[in-house]
Chains A and B, each alone.
Chain A
Amino acid sequence: MRSRDSVPAANMAAEELPSDFDIVILGTGLAESVVAAACSRVGQRVLHLDRRSHYAANWASFTFNGLLTWIEEQKEESKPEKIEDWSSLVEEGEELIHLSNSDPASITNLQVFSYTSEEEEADEPNTIEEEKAAGEDAVKESSETESAGSKEEEDAGPAEEEEPAETEEEEPEADQPPTSPPSNQSEPVRKKISHAQLVKEGRRFNIDLVSKLLFSRGSLVDLLIKSNVSRYAEFKNVTRILTYRHGNIEQVPCSRADVFASRQLSVVEKRKLMRFLTSCMEETEEQTAYSGRPYSEFLRDQQLGESLQHFLLHSIAMVTEDTPTEEGLASTRHFLRCLGRYGNTPFLFPVYGLGEIPQCFCRMSAVFGGIYCLRHSVHCLIVDKDTNRCKAVIDSRGQRISCSHVVLEDSYLDADRKRTATPPRYLSRAVLITDASVLPSDPDQQISMVTVPPTTTGGPSVKMVELSSSTMTCIPGTYLVHLTCQSVGSAHEDLLPVVTRIFRTTEPQEEDRRPSVLWCLYFNMADGSALEVEGHRVPSNVYVCSGPDGALGHEHTIRQAESIFQKILPEEEFCPPAPNPEDIIYDGDNASPGEDRAAVENGGNQEENQEKEGNQEENQEKEGNQEENQEENQEKEGNQENQEKKGDQEENGVNQEPEE
């Protein structure tokens, strides 16, 4: 984690936590963090813990080195939990629910491949045959480690079959002190980036475990704006929508400007596309007539031509061949509504990666008094037998902390207490570091959303996001590519066909202009949407949050967080706007926006870190604000403001003043 962003976690190695909270939240994933922010904001005392050493759980972003460490951790066998006896802390009429202390199931089938020049020049032009044997070994090794780690992995199919035809190595061993010699620029044509370089500049990577985008009119963007959490982050527009079609990467014209500029569409196609996009915003009888029938059929009958149908189905609606018309239209409309709010595509991406988002909410929670501890967990819930409510928790230091509500990430619950879809669903993920864009252009700092339709009928359609270094997620000269699809087999099985088609994993040949993969990682992640909303075997005041789901947007998670919040605090508003630090006036006699001030004082009251016994609210406030001011004002807020103003401008037709 980048230190500049870490939430002010109470650092109290020896000190005890307060023993009474309103809400204890376990896990710092997006849903949990949103709940934490929402609860703190309205004055609840929140204790937010994560047993991991990093924020954002499976939503996290890692530096390159951090990711290597994480990979190692995933491969480690989880230590058998020793059941301690907490009976001394349990009172009469209470029983314990033990929580799981590791998360063996959510990440599986981890495989790493490196194609960078590790050794001397002579080694570089490896023939495929040579490598194959070595590769197989390595794969075997890695998957064995995994199987040991998790039993559930079986359903995803063992990975040790035969696929890897590429060079492969086990990265982690070569971890921190780079064993390889410094970069050798063997190719004068294309500048090669060595593994050592990746490690050396690893801090400049922010590699997300999940790959999502923010729909500019999606619920997450709305929430960020409404709650003012947006001031903690900076966003960039996804600059283009691409699709894989007939063996080529093509740009999908979706906005008016795109359609105008498109070179591949004839003017008649342009007209037809624009007309379709305009007309589908309204419901027509013609559309209703197709309800229940596939969207692809509806599109076919619109006389749009083959390429427009492809664009509309796969890239704009982002649905499959047999999605019903009404659903296809709904997602087309959502896409169009998001278009043009911030730019020429409907999507935003947070600078420094998606892992920023949960942290932003944690920060908001901390500003309003939430207390944060990492590497800190809860062993058991203490449940009142009569009411079936959780009265308190016992934390990993054996302290009993009473609380009125518990929110937890689903991996804290033993499998038999959860209700999930059967068979369990997984996402297949691949993370690639490449040396060029899939569609080079000028300027080259593009952020691209690429849709890859199913290669075989019924196969998964792959969503690919290519990030340039402008997103601060990778170093200049490289691109970070995220591939995601619903799992059919293992991540490697699902995604390798796409990777080999679009990217080059062997030595460059003449005429081959595909980008080279420098390094890649495959893994499967449990699909958060597989977790049922209701029906878990937990006390009535314990709420379960799921991990990331496979959808491109964040609607599922935000909906989940909001509904949990409403169950806990049915009377309260969900994430009301936080006062702007500039609006707060410290000395009392000035006329100040009264409401905001009250709100802050309220927040300040909660902000009782145990180090600071004194209730100097103003100090507290100031601290919070200064911190914001210092860190965000210069670097972030300015940009974010622009970003938002831009939105306003487009919405209201007002002009924006020039920036300094």
Chain B
Amino acid sequence: KEREKKLQIYVAARDACFTKRKDGVFDDEALQLTQQLLSSNPDFATLWNYRREILLHLETVRNQDEVQKIYEAELSFLESCLKVNPKSYGSWHHRGWVSARLPRPDWARELSLCDRCLSLDDRNFHCWDYRRMVVKMSGVPVKQELDFTDRLIGSNFSNYSSWHYRSTLLPLLHPQAPDTPSQCGNPPPSASPQTHFHRVCEEQLLKEYELVQNAFFTDPNDQSAWFYYRWLLGRAERDEMISCVYVSREEERVAVAFSRPVNAQSVGVEWQSVHPHFKNSPVWICSLPPGTISDVANEHNLTVHWTEKHSHRDCALYTGRSESWCRDTATDLELFRSELSVEKTSVLQSELQSVRQLQELEPLNKWCLLTIILLMRALDPLGYEKETLAHFQTLKDVDSMRSAYYSDLCSKFMIENTILKMEYAEVRVFSISDRKLTTLCHLDQLLLVTHINLSSNQLQQLPPQFAMLQCLEVRIGTLFFLLFFINLNSEISTLADLQPLASCPKLKRLDLRGNPITQTTNAEAELAGLLPSVTDLLL
């Protein structure tokens, strides 16, 4: 009964508000009404909007002191709304709006409001947002904010917001000196793929390692600390650059691989993504006008200009050669260490040691295992391969819910290792069979590969990125064929699954033995239709 009465009052007031708004009335009474309604239901966005309209109107008719007063009243009203619902989008947004419009804002008061709210609930992301706004508007020193995160982390370190805030503050407060390259004895700074903007100087980094280690040793099951640790270990996104230029005389094509997927805008010549689906692609192809480079007797110097980044890359096609390339290898770039930063090896080594220490105490902790794997990869991907695989096995056992994720991650690492080995051997054969691969990746790194063997894995499908392999189709006069084994139980079962192969026009030989597709009637004929260039098909 009581409730019904309340509801009636509420509905009546709401309707009154709507009518007033419709009529364009922006008076004090409307302010009153909305205040009543919002104090019982602070999540009523329309009313907040109406209120803002009224306030904007009042701004035009009152003098500044009065406006200041009105907005101050608004702030204290908002505090009462936040008490009703401390996570109300409407209230926080309105507060931000009011604070920004306040003629003489009292940022210190706002900051202390944030302090109080966050001490009551240190995970209230609305308040975090508002705090960031207050800090930005009032220019709170970064150091002070860092100390604030120290305090919150001290009282409860299970707090993504605080850790994350730290990760944005630290690079500002302790930036890595730009002239100390973090890698020693590697490519000169100009060729270094790293940017230093988002990194933290080493001294501070060591302190952070210590802090976060205290957290995950205290509670290894708390994810927030592990995530922060990964951020600490991680390195900035790699620069966009041209990592490989490949020219084929016979095809009259240039293929360019970028370090990251880009959306190439053609200048002068027509560039094509390797696959019509990819608007952004790390690999782009340009068919040169017929006859441009077809004369074997000529030497051609090609330069690919990337105007957007003001970078370019040369590639010379010498007399008598049918193809040529110019590239940075994955080994050069330490590409596959990019998951983790290339700190001084000794630092990483000691990190690995302490995490291993934790693993001895907590042999089944998944975060710990995963971090060990990442550290091992950062240190020596090939050297730790065996241990890494063993840890992956444990991970799949203790965290079976995510076993597919671990399989994919493991596949990725196996492929990376194989690429490294291939580069070391200086061959263009990519063979990775019987490694329980569940996914294929880094295909842009296989631009130059001529032979690929994927037999006896657990691949579900060929990704469309497979098309990136097409760039390597090259005729070197003599016999060339792309040897392709896919061999697995029941996985490649329909023709559609082989579709990506169609983008590799130079595919000569395909070995599909053991795949269910071979059971299909007239598979051979259909395959011939799908892959006309394949001359040698093993079923």
Residues of A within 8 A of B (CB): 256-257, 259-261, 267-268, 270-272, 274-275, 344, 591, 646, 649, 655-660
Contact = CB atoms under 8 A, between A and B. Distances in A.
B187 interface: no
A655 B118 CA distance: 10
B218 interface: yes
B218 A657 contact: no
A649 B79 contact: no
A655 B217 contact: no
Contacts of B219: 256, 260, 274
Interface of chain B: mostly helix, strand, loop or mixed = helix
B116 A658 contact: yes
Contact of A260 (B85, B215, B361): B215
Given A256-B156, A268-B217, A657-B86, 9 more contacts: A257-B157, A260-B215, A260-B219, A274-B218, A275-B361, A658-B79, A658-B83, A658-B117, A660-B79
B121 A656 contact: yes
B87 A655 contact: yes
Interface of chain A: mostly helix, strand, loop or mixed = helix
Contacts of A657: 82-86, 120
A270 B214 contact: yes
A656 B215 CA distance: 25
A260 B158 CA distance: 11
Contact of B120 (A260, A591, A649, A660): A649
Interface string B110-141: 00010011001101100000000000000000
Contacts of A271: 217-218, 220, 358, 361-362
Nearest to A645: B120
Interface in B259-297: none
Contact of A267 (B2, B86, B213): B213
B354 interface: yes
B154 A591 contact: no
Contacts of B82: 657-658
A656 B214 contact: no
29 contacts: A256-B156, A256-B219, A257-B154, A259-B218, A260-B214, A260-B215, A261-B154, A261-B214, A267-B214, A267-B217, A268-B217, A268-B357, A268-B358, A268-B361, A271-B217, A271-B218, A271-B358, A274-B217, A274-B219, A591-B1, A649-B120, A649-B121, A655-B120, A656-B121, A657-B83, A657-B84, A658-B79, A658-B82, A658-B113
Contacts of B156: 256-257
A646 B119 CA distance: 11
B155 interface: yes
A591 B2 CA distance: 7
Given A591-B1, A658-B79, A658-B117, A260 B86 contact: no
A658 B361 contact: no
A267 B217 CA distance: 6
B339 to A, nearest CB: 24
Interface string B127-167: 00000000000000000000000000111110000000000
Given A591-B1, A658-B79, A659-B116, A260 B218 contact: yes
B99 to A, nearest CB: 15
Contacts of B220: 271
Nearest to A592: B2
Contacts of B124: 655
Contacts of A260: 153-154, 157, 214-215, 218-219
A437 B353 CA distance: 40
A516 B206 CA distance: 41
Contacts of B154: 257, 260-261
Contact of B155 (A257, A267, A658, A659): A257
A659 B124 CA distance: 15
Nearest to B214: A260
B89 to A, nearest CB: 14
User: Max chain A CB contacts within 10 Å: which of B84, B117, B120, B220?
Assistant: B120
A583 to B, nearest CB: 13
A181 to B, nearest CB: 44
Contacts of B157: 256-257, 260
Contacts of B155: 257, 344
A267 B354 contact: yes
Interface in B38-71: none
User: Max chain A CB contacts within 10 Å: which of B1, B84, B121?
Assistant: B121
A25 B123 CA distance: 51
B366 to A, nearest CB: 16
A270 B220 CA distance: 11
Contacts of B83: 657-658, 660
Instruction: Name the 5 nearest CB pairs between A and B, nearest first.
Output: A655-B121, A657-B83, A267-B217, A656-B120, A271-B217
Interface in B217-240: 217-220
Nearest to A275: B361
Contacts of A591: 1-2
A88 B352 CA distance: 92
Interface string B340-380: 00000000000000100110011000000000000000000
A268 B357 CA distance: 8
A267 B350 CA distance: 14
Contacts of A658: 79, 82-83, 86, 113, 116-117, 120
A469 B229 CA distance: 41
A376 B219 CA distance: 58
A272 B361 contact: yes
Nearest to B362: A271
A256 B214 CA distance: 11
Contacts of A655: 86-87, 120-121, 123-124
